[in-house]
Amino acid sequence: MMFHCVRSLPNIISATRLLGSPLLLVIEQSYVKWFFSLLALSDALDGFLARSLKAQSNLGKVLDPLADKVMMFFAFLVCVFKLRVLPEYLFYMLLMRDVFILMGSVYLFKRKGVLPSPSPWGKLTTFTLSLTIVVHLFGYESQILVFLSLLFTLYSWTDYFIRGLHILRYKKDYPY
What is the percent of the chain where pLDDT is above 70?
95
Q: Please report the pLDDT score of residue 116 as a whole number.
A: 83
What does R_g of the chain's alpha carbons equal in angstroms? 16
Q: Please report the pLDDT score of residue 60 as a whole number.
A: 87
Q: Please report the pLDDT score of residue 7 as a whole number.
A: 66
The kind and range of the H/E element at 106 are helix 88-112
Q: Please report the pLDDT score of residue 6 as a whole number.
A: 58
Q: Taking residues 151-164, what's their average pLDDT?
A: 96
Q: What is the pLDDT of residues 97-112, one digit of tens each?
A: 999 999 999 999 999 9
**Separation CA 129–CA 145 (nearest Å):** 8
Q: What is the DSSP letter of 175?
A: P
Q: What is the pLDDT of residues 16-45, one digit of tens each?
A: 999 999 999 999 999 999 999 999 999 999
Q: Please report the pLDDT score of residue 56 as a whole number.
A: 83
In contact, 92 and 129? CB cutoff 8 Å: no
Widest distance between CA atoms in the chain? 50
Model confidence at 176, pLDDT cuts 50, 70, 90, reads low
CB atoms under 10 Å from CB of 99, counted, come to: 11
Q: Taking residues 130-142, what's their average pLDDT?
A: 97
- Among 55, 43, 22, CA closest to 123: 43
Model confidence at 145, pLDDT cuts 50, 70, 90, reads very high
Asked whether the predicted pLDDT for residue 5 surpasses 70, the reply is no
Q: What is the pLDDT of residues 57-94, one digit of tens each?
A: 888 888 999 999 999 999 999 999 999 999 999 999 99
DSSP calls for 46-74 = HHHHHHHTT---HHHHHHHHHHHHHHHHH
